[in-house]
Every structure is written in structure tokens, then in C-alpha cells.
Amino acid sequence: MGKNKGEMKYHTLKESLKNDILSGVYQPGDKMPSENQLVQEYDLSRHTVRKALSILEEEGYIIAVHGKGTFCTERALHKKESKNIAVVTTYISDYIFPRLIQGINSVLSKDGYSIIFKTTENSRRGETACLEDILTKDIDGLIIEPSKSEIVCRHPKLYENLDKYEIPYIFIHGVYEEMKDKPHILMDDCKGGYLLTKYLIDMGHQHIVGVFKADDHQGRERHKGYVMALQEAGYQYDPDMVVWFHTEDRQTKPVTSVVQMIKDQRKMDAVVCYNDQIAFSIIGGLHQIGVSIPEDLSITGYDNSMLAHQHPLSLTTIAHPQEKLGEMAGQLLLEKIQGGSDKDMKTEYLIEPKLVIGNSCKNRNQE
């Protein structure tokens, strides 16, 4: 019993120091606390402290320099070939998440990799916590959906630590502006927004409201495509016809804003929505005030999710091949793990959008 307790003490100290190294508390070249300091701070015997430090040195995290002390190594790297891959998404329960994971797993499992799932709830604080935790684990790579990718990254040091520890990572669904030199796989959301808006224009719509998310890459790009289609058709862009929402108000602002437009008798005949979830939320709000879809108002979604086809009303939307995106991310990460550098591969990979026509839009050319 006493022996087990002693083993637990040196293991606990070793893991504590290792976590401090991997999370950046101690940088390569930094002097580590002395044996005396560790004895006092952790209330341990010198023998226990020496055993913990000895194991850390064997694993390559620290090096003892005679007459000078113990230092964090220049290459305090994670163990190689852990066969663990971290996947960090904004919402683990998101309606497109299962297909994404299926695609990633179909590629990585063939090479014997296991996946560690984490979610940020699209919070920058949540992303910081996920990355800090990942830096204390033995992983071979990371696939990450950045949180609020249209806002400047608050934790670049954590990504720098990933680079320092030679842990390759792939961005999906978005990328921070300042990290566009890193590999990222995206939908061509600008073209997707363009295809939806052009379809409505071709169907005779002239007063098209746009509802877009302000704090991520997809929202910005889908809005850009919306603007391009309006300008191409010779319609003047009206910022008052655009509803911008953020992660925090996604469940209320889109629907309340569009409903208010109707109550204010704003001239409108169609709504282009950020995604299928937002579209059905707005449809529900409009139904409560007696607006019929598509007779009174046409509406489009984005993602071609299961939601799009679970109602009598089938959304016109954009196919979002999440499984293919997952497969691409898994394959690209494998290439990097096997020795490919950022310089050897292109940076941006775009997936072509495809229009899926449902019955949520009315042809107004016949009116």
C-alpha cells in the first residue's frame, strides 16, 4: 500500500511538470525549479522528486546540465505515434456534425487512429480551454473548426505551441485571417450564397432579405455571394434588407428581425438564410403571424441538412458534403503527419457548392 502511494506521488509530480511544459508555462531553454524548490512546494521527499525528474529526462522533456541545473529541452515534443487525433468543433450536437465525423473517421481509422472529440460552443474562451487541454495530451494531429473565425484570434500563442511541438493541424469551415497560411478546407460559401440569390432572382424575386452570421467565415462569404448576385442583376444593395446576427443571439434575432420587417410592411418577397436551422426558425415565426411559405414569401436555407427534408415544406438549399469535407481533412492531416510540410502543399481547399431545389420558393414571374 505504501509503495503504491509513493509511486502515485512521483507520477503526480511528473505529470504536473509535464503539463506545465506542454502548456507553455516553461518554454524551451527555461530553467526548471530546483530539487529543493520542488521538495518544499509539493511537500515531497527528495527521492520522489528525483524519480519524477529522471522520468521526465528519459522522455526528453528536460535535460540536466551539470553545475547549472535542469532545463526544459529545446524540443520538448509530444510522444510520436500516439495514434490519437483531436477533433475540435464548435457544436458537437450540431445537425451536420455526425456526417463530418463519419468522414474523418473513415479515413483515420484505416490507419489505426483514434479520435478525441472536443467542442468549444463557438466560444473563444472554450477554444482556448480545448487547446490548452490538447497541449497536455499525446496527440499526433488536430482538425479544428475555429470559433468566431471572423474575429481576431485571441490565443495565437497556443497555435504557436502546436507548431513548436510539431503537431500538425487543419482548419475546417473557417480560418482566422492571420492564419491563412495554414491548411484549411472550406466550402465555397461565396458561390453558395450567389447561387441561392441568383435562383430567387431568376424566379422573379426583386426584394430579397439576407440573414447572415456576423462572427464566422461562412456568414461573411455567403453575404458576399448574395451581394454579387444582386449587383449582377442590377439591383441596388440595401443594408436595411440584411439581418446580421451573432452566436449569442442566433436563436432570437433572425426570427424577430424578419417578423418585425413584415409587421413594418417592408417590401419583401424572399429571404436568403444563413443555414437550414435559421430558415426553419424564421418559417415558424412567420407562420405564427399568418405568413404562408412560399405563397407569401419564398425562403432558402443552406447545408442540405436532414432538417431540410423532414417537413412537408422542402427547403431550397445548398448541398454541404460534410462527409467529403471530413474525408479531405483526415487525408490532408495524414499527409502532414507523414512528413508533408505547409510549404509542400497548397493552403486553401474549396468544396464546390450545389443548389438543391425544394418547394420553399415560388416562381413569381408568373404573377
The pLDDT value recorded for residue 63 is 77
Mean pLDDT score, 295-306: 94
Instruction: In whole angstroms, give the CA distance from residue 157 to residue 147.
Output: 16
Q: What pLDDT is attached to residue 80?
A: 55
Task: Give residue-wise pLDDT tens across range 337-355.
Answer: 887 655 666 889 999 999 9
- The count of domains in the chain is 3
138: domain CATH number is 3.40.50.2300
- Asked, for residue 78, whether it belongs to a domain, the answer is no
Residue 143 banded pLDDT, cuts 50, 70, 90:
very high
Q: Which helix (H) or strand (E) holds 319?
A: strand 317-319
- Give the best-scoring range by mean pLDDT among 14-28, 79-93, 118-132, 255-269: 255-269
Residue predicted with more confidence, 220 or 2? 220
- The verdict on 157 and 195 lying in the same domain is no
Lowest mean pLDDT among 128-132, 174-178, 206-210, 217-221: 128-132
pLDDT of residue 1: 35
Mean pLDDT score across all residues of the chain = 89
- Secondary structure of 131-151 as H, E, C letters: HHHHCCCCCCEEEECCCCCCC
Distance CA 15, CA 81 (A): 19
CATH number at residue 55: 1.10.10.10
pLDDT value of position 163:
86
Residue 152 and residue 141 share a domain: yes
**Closest Cα to residue 171, out of 89, 275, 95, 274?**
89
Task: Based on the fold, state whether residues 165 and 219 are members of the same structural domain.
Answer: no
Cell readout for 55 is 522520468
203/295 same-domain check:
yes
From the list 82, 79, 85, the residue with the least C-alpha distance to 115 is: 85
Q: Which three cell numbers stand for residue 297?
A: 414569401
Same domain, 48 and 98: no
C-alpha span between 313 and 329 (Å, rounded): 33
Same domain, 362 and 236: yes
Question: At 356, which amino acid appears?
Answer: V
Q: Are residues 204 and 222 in the same domain?
A: yes
> Would you say residue 79 lies in a domain?
no
> 2 pLDDT exceeds 80?
no
312 and 333 in a single domain? The answer is no
Residues 360 and 226 in one domain: yes
Co-location of 279 and 177 in the same domain: no
Asked, for residue 204, whether it belongs to a domain, the answer is yes
Domain that holds residue 39: 2-72
pLDDT, average across residues 293-321: 91
d(CA 97, CA 90): 9
Cell numbers linked to 255: 426570427
Is 103 a domain residue?
yes
Question: What sign does the CA torsion over 221, 318, 116, 77 have?
Answer: negative
Residue 79 predicted with pLDDT over 60: no
Whether residue 193 sits in one domain with residue 183: no
From 72, 96, 124, the end of a domain falls on 72
Beta carbons within 10 angstroms of residue 65's beta carbon: 9
Q: Is residue 271 predicted with pLDDT exceeding 60?
A: yes
pLDDT at residue 23 greater than cutoff 90? no
pLDDT (0 to 100) of residue 47: 92
Residue 336 lies in a domain: yes
pLDDT of residue 343: 62
Amino acid in position 246: H
- Interval 253-258 mean pLDDT: 98
Do 66 and 206 fall into the same domain? no
Is residue 258 situated within a structural domain?
yes
